[in-house]
Amino acid sequence: MAIETTNVTNSATTIYTSSGNSAVTYAAINNVTASAISVDIHVVPNGDSVGNINCIAKTLDIAALDQYQLYAGGEKLLLEASDTISVTANVATGINAVVSYTSI
């Protein structure tokens, strides 16, 4: 297994890109500020762009110093080569992402 960490901005930020077939075993979006921040989360197939068709969470509010777990408790997101997970925050700083994945 491997781990990636990313600072998310107020434009579409790729937090994970699959190289080959992979399974995302854990993904958390963390708010490290003293104010709530909202995010949009997209799972984007290779060749597509961020849009409403691949949005899995729209304007999701994350409370101050809190986190949102995308995949936990044994769930997995299966991705093919060059599929991505993208996050856009409503502010330029204050959100980070942690993703754990394994090749399959």
| pLDDT surpassing 80 at residue 17 | yes
The total of other beta-carbon atoms located within 10 Å of residue 13's CB is 19
**What's the chain's average pLDDT?**
96
Better-predicted residue by pLDDT, 70 or 54: 54
Better-predicted residue by pLDDT, 60 or 72: 60
Listing DSSP states for 2-64 in one string gives: EEEEEEE-SS-EEEEE-SSSEEEEEEEEEE-SSS-EEEEEEEE-TT--SSGGGEEEEEEEE-T
Q: Are 2 and 95 in contact (CB under 8 A)?
A: no
What's residue 74's pLDDT? 79
What CA–CA distance (Å, rounded) separates 65 from 80? 33
What's residue 18's pLDDT? 98
What's residue 72's pLDDT? 62
